[in-house]
Structure formats: structure tokens, C-alpha cells
């Protein structure tokens, strides 16, 4: 046998006997496998850590910081998705006043359109691919765009799949005939109208002139930008919602608040007793008297009914002084003044009655709707509605309900009380005085045959030293013959700088507009 044969046999025996003292391959291979197993485990553990870190970061980005990235102006995905499907509609009296048109080119599939755009712009606002959303298009964007989680029939499934939900609809409280009457009455004048249903707080009309067509700024490109710049640079401010977001000195229309405060505080027992009111009236801490517009009016010691009928500044200036600052502030705030954060659901700027006056003269001026007293047309419509509703003030509301695309109701909004600024007995007295304003006084242009109408004119001073054209106000409510409730209360303000000063009066300019709006509501 060769030496090589003997060596091979010996090697086989060593392997079979498991040893022999040599350093054969088996212990070496096991060490290698052990080393590889340890390395693999460590590599796997490291990969697991990386995966966990990745998951944590994904959670941070997609959940914790989702809003930050969604709201980033550079992120166009949400906007593109929003306009990839038709937007839901805003409805007036069951008819859509908005729409959508398909765009042939560009990143956005659909663009917003408007029916009677200028007529309903103070209600709808705009939805623009370039400039965002405003008014109802803004506050109800989630419903209209289909992003509101309540719209989904299967919320969890939609959240996982991120499927686009069809936009829902927003049904407004607007009365189409009243809205048209308000705009027709305002015409080319600069001003606003707000009309409310006293028993429910439903906003029946919301007009602001001059207006604009939201459809001209909904798209992209140079035309939309040019229209946007033109509207924003216009001195007449057509995009300003004067009914909700502009305050004016309410002038003599505020006297119904002062009258309510005086009766509620028991300064006088009724509207037909003489008042201890000099003419002129000079508050204790000033030498400057408060006078009346007409020297022929018998305002000295006049009754409250007569004082409202001819709008005696002296009587109501003194009445505010008699009630006192705390009493007048309490009365004004009960009617909704100094209310911050008001929404209908569109935001409304606060109406103001000064709470920090230290002068009786300033209190007297504030009590006749001057000095720092300032009100939106919606606020003065609310004051009027509370008086017409027996002293109960309802919260104004512009949305009746929201629905899914299939018409099922998502949310409905019923009447909600704000408070009771005056008792029913006081409200009845103020109603009687306001009726006299229309039947015998300065508000005759608001009279409607066969209808009980109560009103109050106002001519608010404006400008430095009262040099500007006064604002013309009129507030009113109407009750059909034989009815116990008033279905409409209206406030009108006109700030027309082109009017002749002698022609600017609440009774001359604003009362006819209020009458046409009330007739539109009463006529169905």
C-alpha cells in the first residue's frame, strides 16, 4: 500500500473516532458558523432598529406634522385634490347659486362658478384656486370640498384609502326675493342691508354694495390676478361685506336701545308720560349743549313716544344720562354690543358701546348713537328683531343645514337663544313707539297698507367736525294684519358720498329699501 493510501485511511479513522489530537476541519467550520450567526443577528437587529426609526419618523411626518405640511403654501397636493372633483354647492331656497366648470388644461380639473355672483357674493364669498376661500366658501370649505370627516359613510376605510369623498351642500337661510329686493333698493348706492326672521334668527337677506362677481377670481393666470388686484385696489371696496364687517355710528336708530333701557330701569313708567327734558340739554360736565335737528319740534318735556316720533336728541341724551353708564352698557350688551367672536357661522366684527367713558357728555352722545357707538347692519337688525320678538333675542344664523352629496342631512341648525334684553312688557311699549314713527313721524316711507310696521330713522354724523355726508339708517319690523308675530326685521344703512346732503336721511333714502325687503318677505 502506498504511503498516500495509508494516510487517507488514517484520516478517515480520525474523523470516525472524533479526534486523534489533530486540528481537523470540524471545529474550524463550527466556529465560522457561530461567527456568521452572531453577525447576522446583529445585522438583523440593526435593520430592525432602522425600520423602527423609519416608522417613528413616518408617524411624526404623516400624523404629528400632517397639518403643518398640509397647510404649507408650497404644498399644492391638497389644492389639486380639492379641485379634482366638483365642489359641493351653496343653495338659496333650494336652488344652487354656485357651480363648477371643467378646465381643459392645467393642474386643476374643476373651477368654481357662480350664478348671480354679485347678488350672492356677500353670502357665498369666493373659492379661488389662487387666492383661497372667504365667507361661506371658507367656513364651510370642509363640507363643500369633501374633506370633512363627517361626510364619509365609512370614515376608517376612507382614512386608510384616502379616497376623495364627494363634496356636500350648504343650505342657507336666505330668502331669494328679499335678497333681490335689498340689492335692487340699494342700486348704485354704497351701503348694506340685513334682514332677520325675529322668531328664529334666520338671516333672510344680506346685501352689500357695491358688490363683485366672485367668478372672475376663481381661476389661475393673469386674468384672475388682474381682477383680484382691481377689486382690492378699488376705493369703493367691493369685496368688503358691509353688512357683517363694517361698523357705522348708528345715529338715532340707537335710540330704541336707550328707550328700552330707560323703560326697563323705571326712569319713566311708560312712553306717554312727559319727560323732564330741557331743550337744549347740556350735560353736567360740559358747556356744549345737545340740540335737536328742528327747532319746531316740541322736544322740551316731550313724551318718549313723541320723542322717538320726531327723534329728539335732547330727550334721549338726557335719558341715557339718567340711566347711567353702567345701565347703558348693560342694556347695549344685552342686545349684542361688545360681543367678540360672533359667527353666523361667518365671522362678524363686534359692534361697540364704549365701556370706559368718564364724561356725562360723552355718555349722552353715545346714547343717541354718536361718539364711539358703532354697529354693523346685522347688529341693528338683531336689535330690531328682539324688540319685534317680544324682547327675546335669537342668535342670527345664515346656514339652515348641510348635506352629503346624496342629499342626506349632515347637520341641521335650529333656533338658538342669545338672551332676553328686555321684558315682553317693555318690548310692547317700544313696539308702540316705533309704530308711531311710521304712522305719524319720520318713517312714513316704510308704511305698507294692511300691515303693522314699526321703524326708526337715523342720520348719523360722519367725518371730522361732522363735515362728511351723514350715514342714512332705517330699522324696521313688519307684522301682517291679524298676526301675532313679525316675520321680518330689517336694518338698512347708506353711506353714499354722492348724495346731496339735504337728501340724506333715514326716512328718505333707507326707509323705502326696508319697505321693499319687508314686502318681499311678506309676499312669500
Residue identified by cell 335737528 is: 293
Q: How far is CA 253 from CA 259, 312, 383, in A?
A: 11, 12, 10
Of 133, 135, 140, 131, nearest to 167 (Cα)?
140
Q: Is 247 exposed, middle or buried (0-12, 13-18, 19+ CB in 10 A)?
A: middle
H helices of 77-145, where?
77-82, 117-124, 135-139, 141-145
Residue with the three cell numbers 348706492: 189
> Are 197 and 488 within 8 A, CB to CB?
yes
User: How close are the terminal C-alpha atoms of the chain, in Å?
Assistant: 127
Structural Rg of the chain based on CA atoms: 36
Q: What's the rounded Cα separation, in Å, for the pair 394 and 392?
A: 7
DSSP 10-34: HHHHHHHHT-SS---HHHHHHHHHH
- Mark residue 100 as left, alpha or beta (left: phi above 0; alpha: psi -120 to 50; beta: remaining): beta
Concerning whether 17 is annotated as a catalytic residue, the answer is no
Given a contact cutoff of 8 angstroms between Cβ atoms, the answer to whether 204 and 174 are in contact is: yes
Distance CA 367, CA 268 (A): 16
d(CA 302, CA 281): 13
**Interior CA angle at 62 toward 60 and 65, to 5°?**
60
CA 431 – CA 454 distance, rounded (Å): 6
CA distance 348 to 243: 9
Closest CA to 394 of 453, 335, 331: 335
Per DSSP, the residues of 28-91 read HHHHHHHHHHHHHHHHHHHHHHHHHHHHHHHHIIIIITHHHHHH-TT--HHHHHHTTSPPP-EE
The residue from 252, 311, 367, 476 that is catalytic is 252
**Residues with active-site annotation:** 252
Amino acid at each position: 500500500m502506498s504511503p498516500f493510501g495509508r494516510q487517507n485511511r488514517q484520516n478517515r479513522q480520525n474523523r470516525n473516532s472524533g479526534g486523534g489530537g489533530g486540528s481537523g476541519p470540524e471545529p474550524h467550520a463550527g466556529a465560522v458558523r457561530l461567527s456568521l450567526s452572531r453577525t447576522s443577528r446583529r445585522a438583523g437587529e440593526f435593520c430592525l432598529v432602522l425600520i423602527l426609526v423609519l416608522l417613528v419618523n413616518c408617524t411624526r411626518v404623516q400624523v404629528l406634522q400632517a397639518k403643518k405640511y398640509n397647510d404649507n403654501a408650497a404644498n399644492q397636493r391638497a389644492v389639486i385634490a380639492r379641485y379634482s372633483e366638483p365642489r359641493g354647492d351653496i343653495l338659496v331656497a333650494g336652488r344652487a347659486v354656485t357651480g363648477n366648470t371643467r378646465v381643459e388644461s392645467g393642474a386643476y380639473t374643476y373651477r368654481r362658478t357662480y350664478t348671480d355672483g354679485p347678488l350672492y357674493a356677500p353670502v357665498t364669498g369666493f373659492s379661488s384656486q389662487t387666492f383661497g376661500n372667504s365667507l361661506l366658501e371658507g367656513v364651510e370649505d370642509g363640507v363643500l370640498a369633501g374633506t370633512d370627516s363627517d361626510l364619509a359613510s365609512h370614515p376608517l376605510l376612507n382614512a386608510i384609502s384616502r379616497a376623495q369623498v364627494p363634496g356636500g351642500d350648504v343650505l342657507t337661510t336666505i330668502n331669494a326675493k328679499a335678497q333681490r329686493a335689498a340689492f335692487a333698493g340699494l342700486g348704485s348706492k354704497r351701503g348694506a342691508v340685513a334682514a332677520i326672521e325675529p322668531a328664529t334668527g334666520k338671516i333672510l337677506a344680506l346685501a352689500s354694495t357695491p358688490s363683485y362677481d366672485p367668478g372672475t377670481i376663481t381661476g389661475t393666470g393673469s386674468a384672475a390676478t388682474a381682477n383680484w388686484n382691481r377689486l382690492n385696489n378699488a376705493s369703493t371696496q367691493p369685496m368688503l361685506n358691509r353688512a357683517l364687517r363694517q361698523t357705522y355710528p348708528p345715529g338715532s336708530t340707537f335710540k330704541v336701545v336707550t328707550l328700552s333701557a330707560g323703560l326697563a330701569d323705571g326712569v319713566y313708567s311708560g312712553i306717554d308720560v312727559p319727560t323732564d327734558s330741557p331743550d337744549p340739554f347740556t350735560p353736567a360736565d360740559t358747556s356744549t349743549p345737545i340740540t335737536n335737528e328742528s327747532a319746531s319740534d316740541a322736544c322740551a318735556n316731550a313724551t318718549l313716544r313723541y320723542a322717538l316720533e320726531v327723534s329728539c336728541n335732547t330727550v334721549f341724551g338726557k335719558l341715557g344720562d339718567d340711566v347711567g353708564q353702567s345701565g347703558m352698557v348693560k342694556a347695549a350688551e344685552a342686545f349684542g354690543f361688545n360681543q367678540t367672536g360672533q359667527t353666523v357661522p361667518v365671522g362678524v366684527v363686534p359692534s361697540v358701546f364704549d365701556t370706559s367713558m368718564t364724561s356725562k357728555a360723552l355718555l349722552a352722545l353715545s346714547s343717541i348713537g354718536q361718539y364711539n357707538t358703532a354697529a354693523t347692519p346685522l347688529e341693528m337688525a338683531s336689535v330690531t328683531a328682539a324688540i319685534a320678538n317680544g324682547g327675546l333675542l335669537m342668535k342670527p344664523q345664515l346656514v339652515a343645514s348641510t348635506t352629503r352629496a346624496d342629499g342626506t342631512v349632515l347637520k341641521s341648525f335650529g333656533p338658538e337663544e342669545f338672551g332676553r334684553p328686555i321684558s315682553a312688557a317693555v318690548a310692547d311699549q317700544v313696539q308702540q313707539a316705533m309704530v308711531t314713527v311710521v304712522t305719524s313721524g319720520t318713517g312714513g316711507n316704510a308704511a305698507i297698507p294692511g300691515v303693522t310696521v314699526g321703524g326708526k330713522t337715523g342720520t348719523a354724523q360722519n367725518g371730522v367736525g361732522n363735515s362728511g355726508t351723514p350715514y342714512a339708517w332705517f330699522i324696521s319690523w313688519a307684522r301682517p294684519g291679524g298676526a301675532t308675530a313679525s316675520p321680518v326685521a330689517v336694518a338698512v344703512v347708506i353711506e353714499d358720498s354722492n348724495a346731496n346732503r339735504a337728501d340724506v336721511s333715514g326716512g328718505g333714502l333707507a326707509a323705502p329699501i326696508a319697505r321693499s325687503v319687508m314686502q318681499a318677505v311678506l309676499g312669500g
